[in-house]
Structure 1
Amino acid sequence: MRAYSLLLLRISLGLLLVIWGIDKLVNVSHAVAVSERFYLGLITAPTLWKIFGALQTALGLAVILGLWRRFSYPLQTLVNGATLLGVWQSVVDPWGWVLEGSNVLFYPSLIIFAGCLVLWAFLGDDRLALDRR
């Protein structure tokens, strides 16, 4: 049961990275808008977003397959941790009762980050990963 639970967690977290990576590739203006809204406009160059999209998609595929987990899991945690930091108001105050700009739909960023930590913590129990075979 544990191996299959970790497989499902790995696939779902990896797919999230793939989906958002592809979004950066095909909808660069959305990536720029997200950067401006949540990350102080740190990156607005469309070419960089395409590169990030390709890298994020590759990372997601590595996570799904269970490849290079000693590197892909910490990197996945870092990427999703950055997202969590970007929407922290929505975690602290999901309904926006105190903090302006909160959105209850972003609360799951905390759950996603926790899932990354669980996957990383149980790396040795994931018997169905390709790099374990």
Structure 2
Amino acid sequence: MKKIYVLFLASLLMSTQCESDDEPVLRTEFYIQNDSSTELIWISETAGEVVIKEGTKQFIGSAVDWVVFVKPSSGIAFDEVILYRKAENGDPIIIYEQQPIVDDVWRFNALSELEGAYALILTDASLIQE
């Protein structure tokens, strides 16, 4: 009788420890890549004033979905991109603005089967000239 009880418990234990039925999640990251000759400033609600130096890129958000990589225009990670530069007196001056977000100017790169990244690549020609 003990053997039957042990077999029953063993099968019950094995059936409750199956692998998770969760499907894979697609993660999308978003970056600003500064290929201009100007130091850019991005203002984030969580990080405050973030400097994006020439020749660097800055992570600005991420999103997940079960089916597709999330496009920048989805509004999940952000709904606008406004970048500044410092004037000689220290005041911020808008030098780039994208509102609403335009997917066509973002470059997508599949990092793996489940991870992708969009980059907004800014050059001197992209920036507002005074």
TM-score by length of 2: 0.23
Larger helix proportion of the pair: 1
Structure having the higher Rg:
2
